[in-house]
Amino acid sequence: MDPADALALLMSPAGRVDPYPTYERLRAHGPVVQAGPVFYVVTGYAEADAILRDARFGVMDDGLRDQFMPGWRESPAVLSISRSMLRTNPPDHSRMRRLAAGAFTPRRIAAMRDVVQAQADDLVDRLLAGGRGGAPVDFMAEFAYPLPVGVICALLGVPAADRPLFRRWATDLTGVLEPEITADELAVADRGAGELRAYFTELVAARRRAPADDLTTALVQAHDGHNSASAPQDGAPDRMRADADGESLSGDELLANLIVLLVAGFETTTNLLGNGLVALLDHPDAAATLREHPEFAPGYVDELLRYDSPVQLTSRMSTEPSRHGGLDLPPESWVIVMLGAANRDPRRYPEPARFDPWRPQIHPLSFGAGPHYCLGAALARLEAQVAFPLLLRRLPGLALAGAPERRVRLTLRGYATLPVTVGR
């Protein structure tokens, strides 16, 4: 199959729901394939890793956005993502990332284990109550969503009562991360972004009035600047405010980073919990071993991240000529890096379609690589390392109650619904 046809198949509903056969069709043409004049797709592990770390590549900047996505400044969804660290290049990227990184140091994340454990235990209690007498419960709605959203909201200081609001808004917004999006889908994404921006505008105002010990307050203070005597007035122009260290955020950046931290903090981890549970239920012997030996959780979670990656792709633009996978890539090449395909590269992982938590040195590319390497990787791993052994131990009879329904999404791969019985 021609690479352009394979790519079209990947964008179709069937291709999005099960991309793995199409990855192999692309891989048959080499680890990097050309799918258009300046358009490339990467399925090789070594090549994906190298491109993500290559300083001649960056995320799409405003100039390129103007060229490829005219009118993007009118889209709250594109604006929300593109003003965050996720879609900016140095020096803006490094400045924003430094401001949030303090909340994600290994020590801070390790200290959250008790919070994660308590929330997960509470959710298992609720699964037990909802599933009493063999009633099916939706694992996505009752566990996979509320655990990560509860944890990231605790970090950001979002009130517990507001947590149910975000699932719909985030699902709507993240349509904008798909490699192709229709005008209708963009309108839905814009609606989600509008709700999230309105929500965070209020939370920012609340933290300005009454600072708290949370990440939202820290970012609000970075925006307002250590030196500014008073908070900005409503309607004040959105401009950079330099503080004593030169570290600050514009108003758009403040909202965009809060939204990305919230949404990246749970959409992905929700999918890790859903995809991972299905993989474990499909492999009862491996699940039994984890039930008996929770200390094996780190290897299991990394293999789950590799086997069915919650984030299947990201993209980069090149600024200079480069050579990868035997191809010469001109400047302004647009490259889709298929993380989910790289994680199944047979040159790196023998029998890649086999779930095997005993693989040596798994190091999946599921969290990306290079300057944009996932800020929340340690937190996501912690949540899954706590959740899976706990679920298996407290719900030994956990079983699928019908076919789970996949979301028709390529970038953020997960289930819409996952009916289970809890075995009591």
Q: Under the rule (CB under 6 A), what is the footprint of ligand HEM?
A: 85-86, 97, 152, 260-261, 264-265, 268-269, 272, 310-311, 314, 339, 366-368, 372, 374-376, 379-380
List the structure tokens of 421.
């019985």
Output the smallest distance, CB 338 to ligand HEM, in A: 11
Output the smallest distance, CB 302 to ligand HEM, in A: 11
Contacts of 274 (CB under 8 A, 6+ apart): 139, 140, 144, 404, 414, 415, 418
Output DSSP code: residue 33: E
Output the smallest distance, CB 180 to ligand HEM, in A: 17
Question: Residue 167: which of 269, 48, 42, 61 has the closest Cα?
Answer: 269
Q: Are 66 and 40 in contact (CB under 8 A)?
A: no
Output the smallest distance, CB 126 to ligand HEM, in A: 22
Output the smallest distance, CB 412 to ligand HEM, in A: 9
Helices H, strands E: what count in the chain? 19, 12
Peptide bond into 70 cis (omega under 30): no
Which CB, 22 or 269, lies closer to ligand HEM? 269
Which CB, 204 or 264, lies closer to ligand HEM? 264
Distance from first CA to last CA of the chain, Å, rounded?
Answer: 49
Secondary structure class of 367 (helix, strand, coil): coil
Output the smallest distance, CB 5 to ligand HEM, in A: 26
Amino acid at the residue 282: D
What's the length of the chain? Answer: 424
Which CB, 264 or 362, lies closer to ligand HEM? 264
Q: Are 347 and 46 in contact (CB under 8 A)?
A: yes
Separation CA 221–CA 101 (nearest Å):
15
Q: Which residue is nearest to ligand HEM (CB)?
A: 376
Tell me the backbone φ, ψ of residue 235, rounded to 5 degrees.
Answer: 80, 0
Output the smallest distance, CB 162 to ligand HEM, in A: 17
Which CB, 31 or 368, lies closer to ligand HEM? 368
Output the smallest distance, CB 107 to ligand HEM, in A: 16
Which CB, 149 or 290, lies closer to ligand HEM? 149
Q: Are 23 and 340 in contact (CB under 8 A)?
A: yes
Q: How many Cα atoms are found within 13 Å in the side-chain-facing hemisphere of 176?
A: 25
Contacts of 396 (CB under 8 A, 6+ apart): 291, 423
Separation CA 227–CA 244 (nearest Å):
7
Output the smallest distance, CB 129 to ligand HEM, in A: 27
Output the smallest distance, CB 368 to ligand HEM, in A: 3
Which CB, 85 or 341, lies closer to ligand HEM? 85
Which CB, 32 or 380, lies closer to ligand HEM? 380
Which CB, 156 or 401, lies closer to ligand HEM? 156
Which CB, 379 or 390, lies closer to ligand HEM? 379
Which CB, 264 or 338, lies closer to ligand HEM? 264
CA 303 to each of CA 170, 259, 284, 309, 347: distance values in angstroms, whole numbers, following the listed order: 26, 29, 15, 9, 16
Q: Are 7 and 26 in contact (CB under 8 A)?
A: yes
